[in-house]
């Protein structure tokens, strides 16, 4: 079995995360994370970025740069308004 060395600060952070995630040891936690490495297992999604989708992304980027976007506060307010409206129309 091989070993790796971690500085104390990183080890304690990983120990906290392992405990919160229900792992008995840091070794188990790290092994689980590394066995599910998305870079190693994910398929290439480049084919999804068609010229049409890239144009849509570019248009959205231009609108954001021009100031045509919701702030997070505006989005939260709009979602709260829509939720309240929906709940009023759909009583339990």
Name the residue among 38, 42, 15, 12 with its Cα closest to residue 26.
Answer: 15
Confirm if 29 and 23 have CB atoms less than 8 A apart.
Answer: yes
Q: What is the dihedral of CA 24, 28, 33, 37, to 10 degrees?
A: -160
Nearest to 35 by CA among 24, 27, 43: 27
Statement: the pTM of the whole predicted model exceeds 0.75: no
pLDDT value, residue 39 = 64
pLDDT of residue 38: 65
Per-residue pLDDT for 91 more than 80?
yes
What is the tens place of the pLDDT at every residue in 22-57?
999 999 999 988 887 666 566 778 888 999 999 999
> Is residue 80 scored above 70 in pLDDT?
yes
């Amino acid at each position: 079995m091989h070993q790796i060395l971690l500085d104390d600060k990183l080890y304690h952070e990983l120990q906290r995360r392992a405990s919160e995630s229900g792992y008995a040891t840091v070794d188990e936690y790290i092994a689980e994370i590394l066995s599910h490495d998305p870079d190693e297992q994910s398929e290439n999604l480049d084919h999804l970025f068609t010229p049409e989708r890239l144009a849509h992304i570019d248009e959205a980027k231009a609108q954001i740069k021009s100031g045509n976007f919701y702030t997070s506060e505006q989005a939260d307010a709009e979602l709260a308004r829509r939720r309240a409206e929906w709940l009023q129309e759909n009583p339990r």
